[in-house]
Amino acid sequence: MKQLVLILFCSSISLNIHAQDLEPRFLSSIPNHTNFMGLVYAYSTGDILLNSQSIEGLNAKLNSTIVFYGRSFKLLNKPGKFDVVLPYSFGNFNAFVQGQDSTVYRNGLQDPTFRVSMIWVGDEALDLKDFIKREKKKFKLGTAFKVKVPLGQYDKTKLINLGANRWGFEFKVASSYAITKKIITEVHIDTWLYTENNAFFNGHTFKQKPMLTFQLHLAYIFGPKFWLSASIGQVVWGETLIDDVAQNDKLNNSKYGLVASYKLTKTGSLKFFITNGLYTGRGADFTTALLGYFCVVR
Protein backbone atom coordinates (compact mmCIF):
# COMPACT_ATOMS: atom_id res chain seq x y z
CA MET A 1 0.00 0.00 0.00
CA LYS A 2 2.83 2.40 0.79
CA GLN A 3 4.32 2.00 -2.70
CA LEU A 4 0.92 2.57 -4.29
CA VAL A 5 0.56 5.83 -2.36
CA LEU A 6 4.00 6.99 -3.50
CA ILE A 7 3.46 6.29 -7.17
CA LEU A 8 0.06 7.96 -7.32
CA PHE A 9 1.39 10.96 -5.47
CA CYS A 10 4.50 11.46 -7.59
CA SER A 11 2.86 10.77 -10.94
CA SER A 12 0.12 13.30 -10.12
CA ILE A 13 2.67 16.04 -9.40
CA SER A 14 4.66 15.40 -12.57
CA LEU A 15 1.62 15.81 -14.85
CA ASN A 16 1.24 19.11 -16.72
CA ILE A 17 -0.65 21.40 -14.36
CA HIS A 18 -1.11 24.35 -16.74
CA ALA A 19 -3.85 22.68 -18.84
CA GLN A 20 -1.89 23.04 -22.18
CA ASP A 21 -3.34 19.53 -23.08
CA LEU A 22 -6.70 21.07 -24.04
CA GLU A 23 -5.78 22.99 -27.17
CA PRO A 24 -8.64 24.47 -29.21
CA ARG A 25 -7.97 25.67 -32.77
CA PHE A 26 -4.83 23.54 -33.02
CA LEU A 27 -5.34 23.38 -36.81
CA SER A 28 -5.38 27.16 -37.32
CA SER A 29 -3.20 28.09 -40.28
CA ILE A 30 -0.51 30.77 -40.58
CA PRO A 31 1.73 31.80 -43.51
CA ASN A 32 5.16 30.26 -44.06
CA HIS A 33 8.18 31.79 -42.31
CA THR A 34 6.11 33.27 -39.47
CA ASN A 35 7.39 33.42 -35.89
CA PHE A 36 4.92 33.18 -33.00
CA MET A 37 5.69 33.55 -29.31
CA GLY A 38 4.03 34.29 -26.02
CA LEU A 39 4.11 34.56 -22.25
CA VAL A 40 1.47 32.89 -20.04
CA TYR A 41 0.73 33.04 -16.33
CA ALA A 42 -1.23 30.12 -14.83
CA TYR A 43 -2.66 29.49 -11.38
CA SER A 44 -3.73 25.97 -10.39
CA THR A 45 -5.45 24.88 -7.21
CA GLY A 46 -7.16 21.66 -6.22
CA ASP A 47 -6.90 18.19 -4.76
CA ILE A 48 -4.78 15.19 -5.65
CA LEU A 49 -6.80 12.01 -5.20
CA LEU A 50 -4.84 9.03 -3.87
CA ASN A 51 -7.48 6.73 -2.35
CA SER A 52 -5.17 6.29 0.64
CA GLN A 53 -5.74 6.42 4.38
CA SER A 54 -2.13 7.35 5.25
CA ILE A 55 -2.16 10.55 3.14
CA GLU A 56 -5.39 12.57 3.33
CA GLY A 57 -6.55 15.97 2.14
CA LEU A 58 -3.68 16.36 -0.32
CA ASN A 59 -3.99 19.62 -2.24
CA ALA A 60 -1.79 22.06 -4.11
CA LYS A 61 -1.66 25.74 -4.97
CA LEU A 62 0.73 26.31 -7.87
CA ASN A 63 1.81 29.30 -9.95
CA SER A 64 3.35 28.81 -13.39
CA THR A 65 5.04 31.07 -15.91
CA ILE A 66 5.12 29.62 -19.40
CA VAL A 67 7.27 30.94 -22.26
CA PHE A 68 6.93 29.56 -25.76
CA TYR A 69 8.27 30.15 -29.25
CA GLY A 70 7.37 28.69 -32.63
CA ARG A 71 7.90 29.08 -36.36
CA SER A 72 5.96 27.98 -39.42
CA PHE A 73 7.61 26.40 -42.47
CA LYS A 74 6.99 24.05 -45.39
CA LEU A 75 7.23 20.39 -44.38
CA LEU A 76 6.88 17.70 -47.07
CA ASN A 77 5.26 20.44 -49.16
CA LYS A 78 2.59 20.88 -46.46
CA PRO A 79 2.05 23.63 -43.81
CA GLY A 80 4.25 22.80 -40.82
CA LYS A 81 5.09 24.35 -37.45
CA PHE A 82 7.70 23.90 -34.76
CA ASP A 83 7.24 25.08 -31.18
CA VAL A 84 9.01 24.85 -27.82
CA VAL A 85 7.34 25.41 -24.42
CA LEU A 86 9.27 26.22 -21.22
CA PRO A 87 7.19 26.14 -17.99
CA TYR A 88 8.46 27.31 -14.59
CA SER A 89 6.35 26.62 -11.48
CA PHE A 90 6.31 27.38 -7.77
CA GLY A 91 3.84 26.71 -4.98
CA ASN A 92 2.78 24.75 -1.91
CA PHE A 93 1.61 21.17 -1.41
CA ASN A 94 -0.35 20.42 1.75
CA ALA A 95 -1.62 17.14 3.22
CA PHE A 96 -2.33 15.25 6.43
CA VAL A 97 0.26 12.48 6.59
CA GLN A 98 -0.69 9.89 9.22
CA GLY A 99 -2.76 12.55 10.99
CA GLN A 100 -0.13 15.31 10.97
CA ASP A 101 -0.45 18.49 8.91
CA SER A 102 2.45 18.79 6.46
CA THR A 103 3.27 21.48 3.88
CA VAL A 104 6.15 21.61 1.38
CA TYR A 105 7.19 24.31 -1.10
CA ARG A 106 8.62 23.60 -4.53
CA ASN A 107 9.89 25.83 -7.31
CA GLY A 108 11.70 25.10 -10.53
CA LEU A 109 11.45 24.25 -14.19
CA GLN A 110 8.88 21.70 -15.33
CA ASP A 111 9.83 19.40 -18.20
CA PRO A 112 9.96 21.46 -21.43
CA THR A 113 8.30 20.23 -24.63
CA PHE A 114 9.29 20.39 -28.31
CA ARG A 115 6.75 19.75 -31.05
CA VAL A 116 6.49 19.47 -34.82
CA SER A 117 3.03 19.61 -36.40
CA MET A 118 1.61 19.77 -39.90
CA ILE A 119 -1.66 19.98 -41.83
CA TRP A 120 -2.04 17.13 -44.33
CA VAL A 121 -5.45 18.01 -45.77
CA GLY A 122 -7.32 21.29 -46.10
CA ASP A 123 -4.58 23.90 -46.49
CA GLU A 124 -1.41 24.72 -48.40
CA ALA A 125 2.05 25.92 -47.43
CA LEU A 126 1.93 29.50 -48.71
CA ASP A 127 3.79 32.75 -48.17
CA LEU A 128 1.87 35.74 -46.84
CA LYS A 129 0.83 37.21 -50.21
CA ASP A 130 -0.72 33.97 -51.47
CA PHE A 131 -1.96 32.94 -48.01
CA ILE A 132 -4.29 35.96 -47.80
CA LYS A 133 -5.88 35.13 -51.18
CA ARG A 134 -6.26 31.37 -50.63
CA GLU A 135 -9.61 29.60 -50.67
CA LYS A 136 -10.47 28.35 -47.18
CA LYS A 137 -11.50 24.71 -46.96
CA LYS A 138 -14.12 23.40 -44.55
CA PHE A 139 -12.26 20.21 -43.55
CA LYS A 140 -8.72 19.90 -42.20
CA LEU A 141 -6.67 16.94 -41.07
CA GLY A 142 -3.36 17.25 -39.26
CA THR A 143 -0.83 15.46 -37.07
CA ALA A 144 1.77 16.38 -34.44
CA PHE A 145 4.70 14.77 -32.66
CA LYS A 146 5.73 16.17 -29.27
CA VAL A 147 8.69 15.31 -27.04
CA LYS A 148 8.76 16.06 -23.31
CA VAL A 149 12.38 16.34 -22.18
CA PRO A 150 13.36 15.39 -18.56
CA LEU A 151 15.02 18.69 -17.66
CA GLY A 152 12.58 19.75 -14.93
CA GLN A 153 13.29 20.01 -11.19
CA TYR A 154 13.84 16.47 -9.87
CA ASP A 155 15.47 15.02 -6.77
CA LYS A 156 15.26 11.26 -6.28
CA THR A 157 15.50 11.73 -2.50
CA LYS A 158 12.31 13.85 -2.41
CA LEU A 159 8.75 12.66 -2.78
CA ILE A 160 7.44 15.79 -4.56
CA ASN A 161 9.02 16.93 -7.82
CA LEU A 162 7.95 19.20 -10.65
CA GLY A 163 9.81 17.15 -13.25
CA ALA A 164 9.17 13.49 -14.11
CA ASN A 165 12.73 12.26 -14.79
CA ARG A 166 11.57 10.41 -17.92
CA TRP A 167 11.07 11.11 -21.60
CA GLY A 168 7.55 11.49 -22.96
CA PHE A 169 6.42 11.17 -26.59
CA GLU A 170 3.03 12.30 -27.85
CA PHE A 171 1.45 11.40 -31.19
CA LYS A 172 -1.59 13.50 -32.17
CA VAL A 173 -4.16 13.20 -34.94
CA ALA A 174 -6.61 16.08 -35.28
CA SER A 175 -9.42 17.05 -37.63
CA SER A 176 -11.58 20.14 -37.89
CA TYR A 177 -14.72 21.06 -39.77
CA ALA A 178 -16.20 24.52 -40.35
CA ILE A 179 -19.95 24.06 -39.88
CA THR A 180 -20.40 27.70 -40.88
CA LYS A 181 -17.98 30.58 -41.34
CA LYS A 182 -18.31 31.28 -37.61
CA ILE A 183 -18.61 27.79 -36.05
CA ILE A 184 -15.70 25.34 -36.11
CA THR A 185 -15.53 21.89 -34.51
CA GLU A 186 -12.26 20.08 -33.84
CA VAL A 187 -11.49 16.54 -32.63
CA HIS A 188 -8.12 15.32 -31.28
CA ILE A 189 -6.84 11.84 -30.45
CA ASP A 190 -3.51 11.73 -28.60
CA THR A 191 -1.31 8.89 -27.41
CA TRP A 192 1.45 9.42 -24.80
CA LEU A 193 4.36 6.96 -24.47
CA TYR A 194 6.91 7.20 -21.64
CA THR A 195 10.35 5.84 -20.88
CA GLU A 196 11.23 4.34 -17.50
CA ASN A 197 12.17 6.47 -14.50
CA ASN A 198 15.03 4.40 -13.07
CA ALA A 199 15.73 6.89 -10.27
CA PHE A 200 12.32 6.84 -8.64
CA PHE A 201 11.87 7.79 -4.98
CA ASN A 202 13.63 5.58 -2.45
CA GLY A 203 15.53 3.46 -5.00
CA HIS A 204 12.57 2.09 -6.98
CA THR A 205 11.85 2.10 -10.72
CA PHE A 206 8.73 3.62 -12.25
CA LYS A 207 7.04 2.79 -15.56
CA GLN A 208 3.77 3.91 -17.13
CA LYS A 209 1.82 2.20 -19.87
CA PRO A 210 0.59 4.24 -22.88
CA MET A 211 -2.01 6.91 -22.12
CA LEU A 212 -4.80 7.82 -24.54
CA THR A 213 -6.67 11.13 -24.61
CA PHE A 214 -9.67 12.40 -26.58
CA GLN A 215 -10.62 16.05 -27.07
CA LEU A 216 -13.62 17.82 -28.58
CA HIS A 217 -13.62 21.58 -29.23
CA LEU A 218 -16.30 23.94 -30.46
CA ALA A 219 -15.22 27.47 -31.43
CA TYR A 220 -17.36 30.47 -32.34
CA ILE A 221 -15.71 33.24 -34.37
CA PHE A 222 -17.40 36.55 -33.53
CA GLY A 223 -15.17 38.51 -35.90
CA PRO A 224 -11.54 39.12 -36.87
CA LYS A 225 -10.67 40.20 -33.31
CA PHE A 226 -12.60 37.91 -30.98
CA TRP A 227 -13.41 34.19 -30.64
CA LEU A 228 -14.61 31.81 -27.92
CA SER A 229 -14.15 28.07 -27.55
CA ALA A 230 -15.53 25.34 -25.29
CA SER A 231 -13.63 22.07 -24.88
CA ILE A 232 -13.96 18.69 -23.22
CA GLY A 233 -11.28 16.03 -22.81
CA GLN A 234 -11.03 12.44 -21.58
CA VAL A 235 -7.92 10.54 -20.40
CA VAL A 236 -7.82 6.72 -20.20
CA TRP A 237 -5.29 3.89 -19.69
CA GLY A 238 -1.86 4.93 -18.34
CA GLU A 239 -1.52 2.25 -15.65
CA THR A 240 1.72 2.53 -13.65
CA LEU A 241 4.23 -0.05 -12.45
CA ILE A 242 6.68 0.08 -9.54
CA ASP A 243 9.61 -2.32 -9.85
CA ASP A 244 7.61 -3.98 -12.69
CA VAL A 245 4.61 -4.59 -10.40
CA ALA A 246 1.35 -3.26 -11.89
CA GLN A 247 -0.48 -0.86 -9.53
CA ASN A 248 -4.02 -1.30 -10.90
CA ASP A 249 -4.43 2.47 -11.27
CA LYS A 250 -5.67 3.04 -14.82
CA LEU A 251 -6.80 6.60 -15.46
CA ASN A 252 -10.37 7.54 -16.31
CA ASN A 253 -10.43 11.31 -15.90
CA SER A 254 -12.32 14.01 -17.78
CA LYS A 255 -12.14 17.80 -17.81
CA TYR A 256 -13.57 20.81 -19.60
CA GLY A 257 -12.16 24.16 -20.64
CA LEU A 258 -13.24 27.58 -21.89
CA VAL A 259 -11.06 29.94 -23.95
CA ALA A 260 -11.57 33.58 -24.92
CA SER A 261 -9.19 35.28 -27.36
CA TYR A 262 -9.14 39.00 -28.20
CA LYS A 263 -6.84 40.62 -30.75
CA LEU A 264 -5.32 43.72 -29.17
CA THR A 265 -3.11 44.81 -32.07
CA LYS A 266 -2.36 43.73 -35.62
CA THR A 267 0.10 41.11 -34.36
CA GLY A 268 -0.81 40.53 -30.69
CA SER A 269 -3.68 38.76 -28.89
CA LEU A 270 -4.74 38.32 -25.27
CA LYS A 271 -6.12 34.91 -24.27
CA PHE A 272 -7.89 33.73 -21.12
CA PHE A 273 -8.27 30.01 -20.46
CA ILE A 274 -9.95 28.21 -17.56
CA THR A 275 -10.16 24.45 -17.10
CA ASN A 276 -11.70 22.20 -14.47
CA GLY A 277 -12.33 18.53 -13.86
CA LEU A 278 -15.63 16.85 -14.69
CA TYR A 279 -14.58 13.55 -13.13
CA THR A 280 -11.29 12.47 -11.55
CA GLY A 281 -10.83 8.91 -10.35
CA ARG A 282 -7.13 9.24 -9.53
CA GLY A 283 -4.57 12.01 -9.87
CA ALA A 284 -4.80 15.78 -10.01
CA ASP A 285 -8.27 17.37 -9.85
CA PHE A 286 -7.21 20.97 -10.51
CA THR A 287 -8.95 24.17 -11.45
CA THR A 288 -6.52 26.14 -13.61
CA ALA A 289 -6.79 29.69 -14.94
CA LEU A 290 -4.37 31.06 -17.54
CA LEU A 291 -3.83 34.54 -18.92
CA GLY A 292 -1.43 34.96 -21.81
CA TYR A 293 -0.18 37.35 -24.47
CA PHE A 294 0.50 35.87 -27.90
CA CYS A 295 2.17 37.67 -30.80
CA VAL A 296 3.18 36.97 -34.38
CA VAL A 297 6.40 38.34 -35.88
CA ARG A 298 7.48 37.94 -39.51
Contacts with 277 (C-beta within 8 Å, 6 or more apart), sequence order? 46, 253, 254, 255, 285, 286, 287
Question: What's the number of domains the chain is made of?
Answer: 1
Q: Do 159 and 196 form a contact (C-beta atoms < 8 A)?
A: no
* Least confident span in 29-33, 47-51, 253-257: 47-51
- The CATH number linked to 236 is 2.40.128.130
Q: Do 56 and 6 form a contact (C-beta atoms < 8 A)?
A: no
Q: What one-character DSSP code corresponds to residue 27?
A: T
pLDDT mean across residues, the chain:
88
Distances from the Cα of 291 to the Cα of 18, 39, 42, 43, 83, angstroms: 11, 9, 7, 9, 19
Contacts with 203 (C-beta within 8 Å, 6 or more apart), sequence order? none
Domain that holds residue 254: 2-297
pTM, whole model, 2 decimals? 0.90
**Band (3; pLDDT cuts 50, 70, 90):** very low
Q: Do 73 and 32 form a contact (C-beta atoms < 8 A)?
A: yes
**Band (95; pLDDT cuts 50, 70, 90):** confident
Residues 224-268: tens digit of each pLDDT: 999 999 999 999 998 889 899 988 888 889 999 999 999 999 999
